[in-house]
Amino acid sequence: MIRVLIADDETLMRAGIRLILENDPDITVVAEASDGRQAVELSLKHSVDVALLDIRMPGGDGLKAAEQIASSTNVVMLTTFGEDSYVAQAMKVGATGFLLKDTPPQELINAVRKAANGEPILAPQITRRLIERHLAAPDSGSEARRKIDTLTDTERNVLKLVGEGLSNTEIGEQLYMATGTVKAHISRILPKLECANRVQAAIVAHDAGLTRS
C-alpha cells in the first residue's frame, strides 16, 4: 500500500486529489495538511511514501516542507503554469516530481505509483519550459561538454536518453539493460555532472548537444 500525504491550502483541491487517488486499491491517503509546517509534521508521523505538496501555501510553503522531508519521502510538487522559478527552487531542495494541478486523474495515479518507486515525475510541459528557460541563458555548451567528458560511453548513452525524456524502463529497453542497471548508471551520472536530479542532467545533455534537435 502506497501511503500518501496531500498538502494544499485549498480544501476542495485536497478533497479532489484524495477522491482520485483512493480509487486505486494500492493507494491510501494517510494525511492532509493545509500548510508546509503541518506537512512536515504529518509526513514524519505517518511514515509517508509520497508527499504531494502545493508549492505556495500560507504558514510555511511547500518549498520549505520539501527541503525538510525530501531525504526521507518522495516529494512531488503541485504547480501551475507560470511558476517555473518555484520549480527550479524545488529541484534544488530535493523534490523529484512536478505535476500540474490539472493533471488528468489516471496520470495522477500513475505519477504517485512511479514516485513511490523513486522514479522522477516531470510533467512534459514543465520540463520543456525549464529547458527553454535555461537555453535562453548565456551559452553553457562548453561547460556541459566538459562534464560529459567524465562519463563512460555507456553512461553517455544513458544520459542521451534521459535528455530525450525517456523513463528508466524505456531506456532499459533501448539499451538492453535491466531497469535496476539503468538506475545504477543514473546514480553515477548525476554526481559526475554535478546535478541534483534528472531534469538538471537533461539540461546538461541538451547543452552538450547529445539530444535530438
Closest CA to 204 of 172, 156, 153: 156
State which fold the 138-207 domain adopts.
Answer: Arc Repressor Mutant, subunit A (1.10.10)
**What's the pTM value of the predicted model, to 2 decimals?**
0.69
The rounded mean pLDDT for the chain is: 84
Mean pLDDT of 198-207: 81
Number of other residues whose CB lies within 10 A of the CB of residue 10: 12
Residue type, 88: A
Q: The dihedral of CA 169, 65, 77, 127: what is its sign?
A: negative
How much is the pLDDT for 72? 85
Q: Could you tell me if 66 and 94 are in contact, meaning their C-beta atoms sit under 8 angstroms apart? A: yes
CATH of 2-131, one of 3.40.50.300, 3.30.930.10, 3.40.50.2300, 2.30.30.240: 3.40.50.2300
More confident residue, 93 or 204: 204
**Residue 134: pLDDT above 80?**
no
The string of pLDDT tens digits covering residues 2-34 is 999 999 999 999 999 999 999 999 999 999 999
Mean pLDDT of 187-208: 84
The predicted model gives 98-113 an average pLDDT of 88
Got the DSSP string for 24-38?
A: STTEEEEEEESSHHH
In the sheet that holds 74-79, the strands lie side by side as: 27-33, 2-7, 50-54, 74-79, 97-100, 121-122
User: Residue ranges of the domains in the chain?
Assistant: 2-131, 138-207
**Percent with pLDDT over 70 in the chain:** 86
